[in-house]
Amino acid sequence: MSSTALDTAALKQQFPLLQREINGTRLVYLDSANTSQKPAVVIDTMTNFLRNSYAPINRSAYQLAAEATDAYEGARTKVQQFINARRAHEVVFTKNATEALNLVAHSWGRANLQAGDVVVLTHMEHHANIVPWHMLVAERGIVLRWVPLTADGQLDLTTLAQLLDGAKVFSFTAMSNVLGTITPVQQLCAAAHAAGALAIVDGCQYVPHNVTDVQAWGADFMAFSSHKMCGPSGVGVLYGREALLEAMPPFLGGGNMIADVRLDGFTTAELPAKFEAGTPPITEVVGLGAAVDFLIGLGMANVRQHEIEVAGYALRTLTSRFGDDITLHGPTDTSVRGATFSLAFRGIHPHDLSQVLDQTNVCVRAGHHCAKPLMRLMGVAATARASFYLYNDTDDVDALADALDGASAIFGF
């Protein structure tokens, strides 16, 4: 069933992979927090580009190359508008969000952080927003502090002011990929700035699902990945405030990021080229542009509204059907959560659960979801995670519930 906000029946038709049947059963893809499927318009844009317009960008004067450059830079402008950045060159294309976060930790971090400097993270961060900082702990002796969680999986902000006191950086996720929790980004950015710290937002799980406005947030940096928002793999985005990007040393060295290279040194190019060394993911950036158009066409407010409805339906359905046999981690209030659910079910190990659900083509991920510190705090080694996106609907929730029933049968309940 469709929600009031999106016509999912029609939407599903636009995703070729969701038409796939395995052993005669339709695919129920509930792993979009991991990576999303792609609408035909994105696939076709890439295919057409490869067939008719593929060419190098930036460096050649002929028309084909000029067209390709326009397509590439046009996608940058689309992304700029999508996240409401002030300038197009505040949008840097990376290979994924992980590279984007590493870029900040490496370039801004090594230029600005000394031994003893404090970086504040939260207990619900993805490894991509932990390990780059751990590397600076090892190399530079910076100090990490952690914002703890409340019992229902929200950030516990009661001690935030103390944690931020004297901190140089506050880097946090806008939405947890494990708990589904949406954090109060604008408030957190303000708190960071009040303490004189930089606000870095991991937008991986937020940008695909909600209206994003980096200026309203007041974010200094923000990272996200194309592949989670209906776009191709192989491209991520780093948003950075112009003044910060200007002042930072470059990250990767090579072609495109230089103004001049001599035998004895080099000077860097202007933004955004300065941070885009080498041949970029040309076709993939063009595909991301098509994904942004697709999402704008749906309206991100509608996407969010739809997911609120699906999340609410999932909470009600799974709780009423399985009661205490199911644990749904994270907040129960849909106004502070997305449609991503980590769950525990009747003591069945997540890996077994995922495998059994797969027999009815219900695809959920089992594992630590690249958030091992959070897993340890939750006291589990792994969870099964069902994550819903714009193409999922209440039928998919029902399919999940039915598949859970089937799992009980095998493991003998």
Ligand X SMILES: Cc1ncc(COP(=O)(O)O)c(C=O)c1O
Contact letters (x/-) for ligand X, 346-385, by CB under 6 A?
------------------------x---------------
Instruction: Give the separation between CA 218 and CA 201, rounded to whole angstroms.
Output: 10
199 in Cβ contact with 218 (< 8 Å): yes
Straight-line distance from the first to the last Cα atom of the chain, in angstroms, rounded to the nearest whole number = 30
Tally Cβ neighbours within 10 Å of residue 308: 18
β pairing state of 362-363 and 28-29 = parallel
202 contact choice in other proteins, ligand X, a second copy, none (CB below 5 to 8 Å, kind-dependent): ligand X
For ligand X, the binding residue among 177, 183, 302, 340 (CB under 6 A) is 177
Q: Show the tokens assigned to 254.
A: 């090579």
Q: Does 62 bind a second copy (CB under 8 A)?
A: yes
Q: Catalytic residue among 189, 204, 230, 370, which?
A: 370
Q: Does 278 bind ligand X (CB under 6 A)?
A: yes
Instruction: Give the separation between CA 210 and CA 101, rounded to whole angstroms.
Output: 21
Q: Which is nearer to a second copy, 250 or 331 (CB)?
A: 250
Q: Does 356 bind other proteins (CB under 8 A)?
A: yes
Contact letters (x/-) for a second copy, 125-164, by CB under 8 A?
-xxx-xxx-xx-xx-----x-x------------------
Q: Show the tokens assigned to 396.
A: 């998919």
Catalytic residue flag (residue 370): yes
The DSSP line for 199-250 is EEEE-TTTGGGS---HHHHT-SEEEEEGGGTTS-SS-EEEEE-HHHHHHSPP
CB of 123 to a second copy, least distance (A): 8
Restricted to residues 20-49, the positions that interact with a second copy (CB under 8 A) are: 20, 22, 27, 29, 31, 34-35, 37-38, 43, 46-47
Q: Does 259 bind other proteins (CB under 8 A)?
A: yes
Quick one: 320 exposed, middle or buried, by C-beta within 10 A (0-12, 13-18, 19+)? exposed
Q: Of 248, 196, 229, give the one whose Cα is nearest residue 92.
A: 248
Mark the segment that binds a second copy (CB under 8 A) among 6-14, 76-84, 237-245, 263-271: 263-271
Catalytic residue positions? 370
**Residues near ligand X, by CB under 6 A:** 96-98, 126, 128-129, 173, 177, 202, 204-205, 225, 227, 236, 255, 278-279, 370
